[in-house]
Amino acid sequence: MLALSGVFQVKSEGPKLVPFFKSTCVYFVLWLPTSTPSWFSALIKCLPIFCLWLFMLAHGFSFLGAHSSARKVLAGLIFSCLGDAFLIWQEQGYFSHGLLMFAITHILYSSAFGMKPLNHRAGLVIFVVSAFSYALLYPYLLGPFTYLVGVYIALIGFMGWRAVAGLQLTNDLWTWTKMSACLGAVLFIVSDLTIAVNKFCFPVPYSRAIIMATYYAAQMLIALSAVECQDAETARKRS
């Protein structure tokens, strides 16, 4: 019953996500060159995230006002959009600015996911993955990026832990909300790790396609988890 209700909740959100899917298709169809950054390319890149703002707002200001986790996810999407814009001009010296915007995003998402349950086993797994990632990148990092990347990995790792920790497959607490948050966080880590390896270590084949596909999917799932949370809570109250 729980899984079936989750399917209905996902389907009910589908129409609100149509602008996001269309704008994502526009990005991949146009596939504007990154070698010539412009405000138009920044707009096309940010448009899917802007559509996720609208997706969150479509649930009403009363919904956002009543649920701090949804407000934090919306704020994270806003900072993500700023980060996307900065990364358009990363070769002109704005990579660290984008890094800062996404660091704030991960802090907001971590807060939205909450600290319960702790799930130390998930934390240990994420810690090992984060440590391995930093060990892989460290020989290639120079100057301030030596510690900036380390701090960023710690923040995104913490965000991943809080998302994964909430997913409990062995009891009745399992929900599509938690699954969406977990998958979104994992895809976000994959996207950012691909960025780091491609930028600092060696060229990754089809890196841009991998980065953007996993990134857009991650943001959609995290946004979906925030609004589904309200749907689940409402259903429980009515029952």
pLDDT (tens, 9 = 90+) of the chain, 239 residues, equals: 444 445 545 567 888 999 999 999 999 999 999 989 999 999 999 999 999 999 999 988 898 999 999 999 999 999 999 999 999 999 999 999 999 999 999 999 999 999 999 999 999 999 999 999 999 999 999 999 999 999 999 999 999 999 999 887 766 566 788 899 999 999 999 999 999 999 999 999 999 999 999 999 999 999 999 986 554 444 444 44
Concatenate the DSSP letters of all residues of 121-151 into one string.
HHHHHHHHHHHHHHHHHGGG--TTHHHHHHH
How many other CB atoms are found less than 10 A from the CB of residue 162? 26
In this structure, what token pair is assigned to residue 42? 């920044």
